């Protein structure tokens, strides 16, 4: 990967396709995502994703931290990656393609059993089905401090499902709507400049 010293547009073009794919999907996760989730959402194998993440880290575009998810043994650590907060990263991301929201239809079937412990009261997770119960499931998992559960919702739910979850949180100061809004923004393509110009002149 070329060392990034050029303007943002040409710097984004200098990235390898796998690196652009990773930056694109990391828009979905303001708090970061596990390496396996990044690879899966970006359509990359684990080796390619790991190498690309380390190159992006060396360039100062992403950062990593270790976490021990809830209900895991204390010696089990997972590396989470997120976009760096540097101004260079923000400028470059304007030229990185956004994730294509049409590439997935949202989760189908039962809730993954690794998240069942978050439903210790109320609905029995064995009875929940997606997409029927997407709003209930999404809101419950976003409210947890389990980064893996949050990332699963933010990366697999459709814009419509995320919007339904977002509408359940009237308090704008809560972290949950902030995370959901960031994912919706990442999946929502802005109108093209020509479209915006023509609508202004008519």
Do 86 and 112 share a domain, yes or no? no
Query: Is residue 38 scored above 80 in pLDDT?
Result: yes
Instruction: Give residue 7's Cα distance to chain centre.
Output: 26
Last residue of a domain, one of 41, 61, 93: 93
Do 151 and 76 share a domain, yes or no? no
Do 110 and 130 share a domain, yes or no? yes
Asked whether residue 154 is assigned to any structural domain, the reply reads: yes
Asked whether residue 201 is assigned to any structural domain, the reply reads: no
3-state secondary structure of 68: coil
Do 23 and 66 share a domain, yes or no? yes
CA distance 104 to 41: 10
Asked whether residue 82 is assigned to any structural domain, the reply reads: yes
Asked whether residue 202 is assigned to any structural domain, the reply reads: no
Last residue of a domain, one of 93, 128, 152: 93
Quote the pLDDT of residue 183: 83
Do 147 and 179 share a domain, yes or no? yes
CB burial readout 157-195, b (16+ within 10 A) else e = bbbebbebbbeebeeeeeebbebbbbbbebbeeeeeeee
Do 13 and 37 share a domain, yes or no? yes
Last residue of a domain, one of 65, 93, 121: 93
Q: Note down the domain range covering 175.
A: 101-187
Indicate whether this model's pTM tops 0.95: no
* Predicted confidence band of residue 135 (pLDDT cuts 50, 70, 90): very high
* Predicted confidence band of residue 198 (pLDDT cuts 50, 70, 90): very low
Instruction: Check if the beta carbon of residue 122 is closer than 8 Å to that of residue 156.
Output: no
Asked whether residue 199 is assigned to any structural domain, the reply reads: no
CB burial readout 63-100, b (16+ within 10 A) else e = beeebebeeeeeeeebebbbbbeeeebeebbebbebbe
Quote the pLDDT of residue 184: 86
Quote the pLDDT of residue 189: 61
* Predicted confidence band of residue 172 (pLDDT cuts 50, 70, 90): low
CA distance 69 to 36: 14
**Residue 63 bridge partners (DSSP):** 82
The mean pLDDT of the chain is 79
Do 74 and 142 share a domain, yes or no? no
CA distance 41 to 38: 5
Residue pLDDT, tens place only, 43-84: 899 999 999 999 999 999 999 988 766 555 555 677 889 898
Do 145 and 87 share a domain, yes or no? no
Residue that the structure tokens 């915006």 belong to: 196
Number of domains in the chain: 2
């Amino acid at each position: 990967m070329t060392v990034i010293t050029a303007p943002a547009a040409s710097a984004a073009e200098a990235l390898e396709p796998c690196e652009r794919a990773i930056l694109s999907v990391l828009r979905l996760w303001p708090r970061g995502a596990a390496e396996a989730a990044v690879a899966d959402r970006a359509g990359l194998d684990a080796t390619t994703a790991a190498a690309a993440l380390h190159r992006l880290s060396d360039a100062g575009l992403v950062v990593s931290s270790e976490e021990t998810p809830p209900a895991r043994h204390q010696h089990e650590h997972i590396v989470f990656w997120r976009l760096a907060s540097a101004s260079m990263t923000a400028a470059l991301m304007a030229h990185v393609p956004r994730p294509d929201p049409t590439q997935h239809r949202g989760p189908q079937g039962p809730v993954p059993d690794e998240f069942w412990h978050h439903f210790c009261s109320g609905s029995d997770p064995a009875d929940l089905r997606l997409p029927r119960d997407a709003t209930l499931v999404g809101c419950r998992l976003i409210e947890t401090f389990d980064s893996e559960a949050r990332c699963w919702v933010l990366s697999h739910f459709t814009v419509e499902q995320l919007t339904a979850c977002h509408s359940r949180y009237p308090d704008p100061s809560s972290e949950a709507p902030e995370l959901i809004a960031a994912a919706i923004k990442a999946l929502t393509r802005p109108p093209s400049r020509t479209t915006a110009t023509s609508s202004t002149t008519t």
